[in-house]
Amino acid sequence: MKIGIVGCGALGSYYGACLTRAGNDVHFLLRSDLEAVRSHGIQILSPNGDFHVRPTPAASPQEIGVCDLVVIGLKTTANGEFPSLIPPLVGPNTAVLTLQNGLGSEEALATLIPTEQILGGLCFVCINRVQPGVIRHIAHGRIVLGQFQRPPDARTHQVAQAFRDAGVPCEVAADLGHAHWQKLVWNVPFNGLGVASAAGLAALDAGLLPPHQPLATCLSSDQLLAHPAWEARVRQLMHEVILTGRTLGHPIPDDYAQFQIDRTLEMGPYFASTILDFIEGRPLEIQTLFVEPWLAATRAGVPVPGLTALCRVLRDLAARHGQIVPLPAST
């Protein structure tokens, strides 16, 4: 396969490196890491075994050209760049797989390319970019992927098999929407509360960060679960997401929350991607990870007081870094 990787941070680089190691013709679309990857390739540090690969680096999508598969690992805050980044990579037989967090990315792609060419994937992996071209894989790595707005077809299974051949556990979901809501059960509390912990419990309970309140250190996943009050809020958000998913027709069982908590405890100290973005002053994925689920709950008539307060505090924290996040008036 000729494969284009768009968004070569920790996630895109890790999966792109796995696909390269399997013998695919993989092209990385790069900006800040271009010279590092051109000179040294990609180094993966993993408990499963370190490895080094040399994908083809590119500075523009035109330099890559039409691919068999495009894998999108961009932060969703960059989705406004889709019109310039994606069409040059796509021909009539190209599959486009977004591995982005939250809700709405497949819909954004559907304004540019035919719906039947769009796949979505959920990544269950602990990874961090430690320096240009160097990725630390901590644990897990499974992908669940599916076809956008339709059942999986032969191409969906072909893409899944390409990941399996690259050593990545990959499952095909019969219903991509269901898989999205399952992933949100983890993403909403551990990404959201990890950032909101900088504001403290009082701000979260009030749904408001006072303008001059000093910030604390963000809590890792194990710290959130070790503190009874924060753990209670983790469970509250998980319950709200599960209830919303069920109301929308996705029957997620109650014990799925405990399953995700048990998996998280296995990770040890871990800072989810949104926490790292906040610490380093980058834009936060508030719209797709928190506001879109909140909107879905509101439209479905599901009360989500924990998510409502979280959206407000995340908006206020983002504003500290100059990021303006407009929230619906009813939040």
Convert 210-238 into a string of H (helix), E (strand) and C (coil).
CCCCCCCCCCCHHHHHHCHHHHHHHHHHH
| Number of other residues whose CB lies within 10 A of the CB of residue 2 | 17
Residue 183 annotated in active site: yes
Active-site position among 129, 183, 312, 315: 183
Q: Crossing angle of helices 228-247/305-320, nearest 10°?
A: 110
The rounded distance, in Å, linking the Cα atoms of 102 and 188 is: 9
Our measurement of the distance from residue 174's CA atom to the centroid of its chain's CA atoms, rounded to an integer in Å, reads 20
- DSSP string covering 27-68: EEE-STTHHHHHHH-EEEE-TT--EEE-PEEESSHHHH---S
Residue 123's SS3 state is strand
Residue 101's SS3 state is coil
Catalytic residues: 183
